[in-house]
Amino acid sequence: MRTLIVGAGALGGLLAARLLATGAPVCLATRDARGAARLKASGLKVTGVGGAVSVEAAQVAPVDGDLAGTPFDLIVLATKAHDAVEVAPKLARRLAPGGSLLPIQNGGVSQVLAEQLGGGCVLGGLSNLGATMASPGVYEQRNAGHLLVGELAGGTSERAERVQQWLGRAIEVRVTPNFRGAVWSKLLLNCSVTTLGAIAGTTMREYIAWPEGRELFDRTYDEALSVAFASGARPERMLVEPVPPAPRDGRGPGARDAWLEEIVRSYGDLKPSMLQDFERGRTTEVEYINGYVVRLGRHLGVPTPVNAAIVEAVGAITRGEAAPAPSLLSRVLQASPHG
Ligand SMILES: NC(=O)c1ccc[n+]([C@@H]2O[C@H](COP(=O)([O-])OP(=O)(O)OC[C@H]3O[C@@H](n4cnc5c(N)ncnc54)[C@H](OP(=O)(O)O)[C@@H]3O)[C@@H](O)[C@H]2O)c1
């Protein structure tokens, strides 16, 4: 499979290095010529879970440059969400007939790209792998996670299985017949655990202990879940059951608290990735997380005032008009009073 990986950041660099280490001929695209030259000089090194590898990066080039191997059977899009949506149209032109574009961002990126590009070239991808980049070319795998792939329309396909076998040489890859459900399971947590933690400047375990934090979590999650259901998605179980107990389903008043406690145990101590984006002055992915919920909700006639207020708050932080703080959670609540 002639393969291009676009984006030599944490996930793209890790995947490229592990594939190259198996002897697979992979081309890697950077944003610009400087980035390509740097990687050619340094090579790619991975440490951490899954073992260490160190490889040369012979076929690395700027994304607009001469990419060895064009046209590609598989293009893995490993940039952040906004870059993925911007660069995807010109990448689609580099696909061989029947080739697949595999975005691996969180949130609504796969769906947005499928609508934007049409023609069924988008194969859904979602990463549960955790990776960091210490410096260009130097990566650490942080967990034993996997890459999930699947058709946006649902069901199984031969191409999903081929991609699983091909990339499975390097990392664990699973195929799901319910890709949209898997996207929503992660999106529900990104909307609430990650974004609210970033706004509060803390972990979920801390903010959920404050009454405003708990109320905001509940309303954000339930709003996003209503949009998921209205879209026809069936969120599927990851670490935690994605659909909370209903108030009167016979499991008693403590059932929702127990469900929430499971989420805190699984995700409550992680530093939100969006908070790291704030600290580094980087564009966040909120437009494809809570912003995606708002746009889809509008389209489906589901009100999403809390998620809209969250997008506003993230925008204010990004513009330097506010700083992450627990008090911002109260401001978000005030901006989205109960209907
Ligand atoms: N890292 C994780 O553990 C993890 C886990 C789950 C999901 N994800 C998701 O996976 C995606 C990638 O995450 P990441 O952590 O790997 O991000 P990252 O470290 O920021 O890497 C993104 C890379 O893409 C490059 N890039 C941007 N625009 C480009 C373009 N037009 N052409 C070529 N390269 C371009 C960036 O270059 P510049 O530095 O020049 O901008 C950067 O090297 C995100 O959507 C993230 O939410 C990540």
Query: Secondary structure of the chain: what % helix, strand, coil (to 5)?
Result: 45, 15, 35
**Residue 215: in which H helix or E strand, if any?**
helix 211-230
- Does residue 106's CB lie within 6 angstroms of at least one atom of ligand 1? yes
Residue 32's pLDDT is: 97
Residue 339's pLDDT is: 60
- Does residue 293's CB lie within 6 angstroms of at least one atom of ligand 1? no
DSSP state, 12? H
Query: Measured between alpha carbons, how far is 288 from 104 in angstroms, rounded to an integer?
Result: 13
One-letter amino acid at 331 equals R
What atom in ligand 1 is closest to the CA of residue 288? 45
Residues of the chain where predicted confidence (pLDDT) is lower than 70: 339
Phi and psi at residue 73, in whole multiples of 5°? -85, -25
What atom in ligand 1 is closest to the CA of residue 87? 31
What atom in ligand 1 is closest to the CA of residue 12? 16
Residue 129's pLDDT is: 93
Query: Measured between alpha carbons, how far is 9 from 280 in angstroms, rounded to an integer?
Result: 15
User: How many residues make up the chain in this entry?
Assistant: 339
One-letter amino acid at 47 equals T
Dihedral angle, C-alpha 79, 84, 86, 92, nearest 10 ° = 120
3-177 and 181-335 share one fold? no
Beta strands in the chain (DSSP E): 3-6, 26-30, 44-48, 53-55, 60-62, 72-77, 95-103, 124-127, 131-135, 138-141, 147-150, 173-175
Q: Given the DSSP bridges, would you call strands 60-62 and 26-30 parallel, antiparallel or unpaired?
A: parallel
Q: Both tokens of residue 44?
A: 């790619």
Q: Determine the distance separating the centroid of ligand 1 and the alpha carbon of 12, expressed in angstroms.
A: 7
CA atoms within 13 A on the CB side of 165: 6
Q: What is the pTM of this model?
A: 0.95
- Does residue 30's CB lie within 6 angstroms of at least one atom of ligand 1? yes
What atom in ligand 1 is closest to the CA of residue 13? 16
Tell me which residue has its CA closest to atom 31 in ligand 1: 31
Residue 239's pLDDT is: 85
One-letter amino acid at 8 equals A
- Does residue 10's CB lie within 6 angstroms of at least one atom of ligand 1? yes
Residue 82's pLDDT is: 96
Q: Determine the distance separating the centroid of ligand 1 and the alpha carbon of 140, expressed in angstroms.
A: 14
What atom in ligand 1 is closest to the CA of residue 10? 16
Phi and psi at residue 61, in whole multiples of 5°? -155, 160
- Does residue 329's CB lie within 6 angstroms of at least one atom of ligand 1? no
The CATH number given to 181-335 is 1.10.1040.10
- 133 closest CA partner among 30, 56, 59, 45: 45
Tell me which residue has its CA closest to atom 20 in ligand 1: 9
- Does residue 202's CB lie within 6 angstroms of at least one atom of ligand 1? no
Dihedral angle, C-alpha 69, 70, 74, 79, nearest 10 ° = 100
Domains in the chain: boundaries: 3-177, 181-335
Q: Which fold has domain 3-177?
A: Rossmann fold (3.40.50)
Q: Which residues are CB-neighbours of 220 under 8 A, at least 6 positions away?
A: 191, 192, 195, 196, 290, 306, 307, 310
Tell me which residue has its CA closest to atom 27 in ligand 1: 79
